Amino acid sequence: MSIFKLIATVIHDYTNITTALLAVFVFLLINKLFRRPSNLPPGPRPWPLVGNLFILSQDAAHIQFTEWTKQYGNVFTIYYGPKPVVVLNGYNTIQEALINKGDDFSDRPGLNKSLGVAFAPYGPIWKEQRKFTMMGLRDFGFGRRSLEGRILEEAEALRREIIKTDGKPFNIFPLLRKAVTNVICSIVFGARHEYEDAAFGTFLEDVDIRLHQATERMRQFVKTKVDKHYRDFDSDDIRDFVDVYIKEMRKGQNENFTDPQLVHLVIDLIMAGTDTTSQSLYWILLYMIVYPDTQEQARDEIYRTFGDSALPTTAKRKEVPFTEAVIAEVQRINSVAPLTIPRCTSNDTVMYGYDIPRGTMVHVNLWSVLKDPSLWEEPDQFKPERFLDNQGQYMKKDAFIPFSIGRRFCLGTQLAKMELFMFTTYLLQHFTFKLPEGAPVLSTVGKLGMSNGPRPYELCAIPK
């Protein structure tokens, strides 16, 4: 055998051995990564490396999860790459996890090193910051009737902007978002922004994007406001939430109250008070266009209670039960937060006999509750009357949980409820909303991004 043949034979044999060893290594690695931990909830079989990502719909994961309950039950496991993710479905299951086992299901995946409250990990610092934030916000009307004036001021500014459209087709969402954001800014910063403010507009665009560069611009926008509060601070004249926090920091008694923490808190508050509420209002107007008889019935009720010019007030909320039922039904049939912010388990825990290790990411599928046929008759039908009792009064339902439940329920719940009521009654009192002539029928299928919002549409607002 020539030296060249000998070398070729050795290389060939070595290559076969190397390939075989590499194949065994890859097999063992994939097997280790995707071996389902013992006694995890069942679920669809994952693909190597990608898990279940290829079979999940980007726009409708919440709907797909709800469908999978028929095959795997209300607690099942999917995989994002090699990582298991447990999905909780159904009212009883979600209540068991978030209420009865709240300490086990209140953590967050490590997203931003404990700053703020929305994404911060569950623990003493989170509890302290959330409690202080809620107390500080209440001092400026959060969840109280005294906040109505701020909302009505913004509703009037919104009305003036809508009138400028002169009944022509336009997309109302940017105006809704500016109005809603201004309400929370008036509480946090003590002032609203003009709709033409370029920096304000850029900030709202960044809220939509939330990439690294956009997030940095958001921080800078908020930090500029906070720095101004430092310069103007007067402990005898506390103007807003930022002042409340600065006052606490200057006591110097708690190292957890810091400038970066304040900036993240403010961003959390604006995020919580902006996207979901403005998207909910966008949905409400869409359904009013799709169901014009419902729009007229709600407007007639508003006129009987407030007339055509008196300012709406939550003090008379019980006198407009159908309007309140309309708002609730829109929130039910197209939840803007069907999966909520992802959670993770803070302890090893057990659900219905299945073991869920500490640190496991968890999706809470509110959609499975709000569209459950065992809780809501004909859940895919728009029927506001389902929220009315036999006397025509608004009727609360335990399974109506659009803001989630438990320790991590939406921080802006009370503000959002007030805003939805005040803006809806004010807008229906002053305008009739119609589809532009010749426009296609509006779709009630949402597009899931940061929230489940309507696909962009235009409307005509006819002043009354």
How far, in whole angstroms, is CA 117 from its chain's centroid? 14
**φ/ψ bin of 252: left (φ > 0), alpha (ψ from -120 to 50), beta (otherwise):** left
User: What whole-number distance in Å separates Cα of residue 460 and Cα of residue 396?
Assistant: 33
Domains of the chain (ranges, CATH numbers): 124-323+410-463 (1.10.630.10)
The pLDDT tens digits for 411-457 are 888 889 999 999 999 999 999 999 999 999 999 999 887 789 999 99
Q: Point out the least confidently predicted range of 32-46, 252-266, 290-304, 336-350.
A: 32-46
Whether the per-residue pLDDT at 149 is higher than 50: the answer is: yes
- Provide, rounded to the nearest whole percent, the portion of the chain with pLDDT above 70: 89
- Tens-digit pLDDT profile for residues 314-372: 999 999 999 999 999 999 999 999 998 899 999 999 999 999 999 999 999 999 999 99
| Sign of the Cα pseudo-torsion (85, 91, 92, 96, in order) | positive
Identify the band that residue 137 occupies on the pLDDT scale cut at 50, 70 and 90. Answer: confident
337 within 8 A of 404, measured Cβ to Cβ: yes
| Cα–Cα distance for residue pair 126/115, rounded to 1 Å | 9
Is a pLDDT exceeding 60 seen at residue 408? yes
Which pLDDT value is given to residue 412? Answer: 83
Contact 363, 339 (CB under 8 A): yes
Confidence label for 214 from pLDDT (cuts 50, 70 and 90): low
Element (H, E) at 185: helix 173-188
Res. 152: pLDDT tops 80: yes
Tell me what the mean pLDDT of segment 298-302 comes to.
97
What predicted TM-score, i.e. pTM, was given to this entire model? 0.89
- Residue by residue, DSSP assigns 270-306 as HHHTTHHHHHHHHHHHHHHHH-HHHHHHHHHHHHHHH
Pick from 32-46, 156-170, 185-199, 328-342: least confident: 32-46
pLDDT greater than 70 at residue 10: no
What is the 8-class DSSP label of residue 98? I
DSSP 381: S
Q: What is the pLDDT of residue 130?
A: 93
Residue 1's pLDDT band, with cuts at 50, 70 and 90, is very low
Q: What is the overall mean pLDDT for the chain?
A: 89
Long-range interactions of 203-211: CB distance < 8 A, separation 24+: 204/174, 204/177, 204/178, 204/274, 207/270, 207/271, 207/274, 207/275, 208/450, 210/450
Q: What is the distance between the alpha carbons of residues 112 and 429, in angstroms, rounded to a whole number?
A: 43
Closest CA relative to residue 349, chosen from 110, 83, 96, 120:
96
Please state, in angstroms and rounded to a whole number, the distance separating the CA atoms of residues 112 and 261: 11
With H, G, I as helix, E, B as strand and everything else as coil, classify residue 114. coil
pLDDT for the residue numbered 27:
45
Give residue 75's pLDDT band: very low, low, confident or very high (50, 70, 90).
very high
| Highest mean pLDDT out of 118-127, 242-251, 289-298, 404-413 | 289-298
Q: How far is CA 360 from the centre of its chain?
A: 21
DSSP state of 315: G
User: Residue 185 annotated as binding?
Assistant: no
Structure tokens at 181: 């954001």
Question: Token pair of 301, please?
Answer: 């009720």
Backbone angles phi, psi at 398, to 5 degrees: -60, -35
For residue 459, give the nearest of 205, 208, 162, 179 by alpha carbon: 162
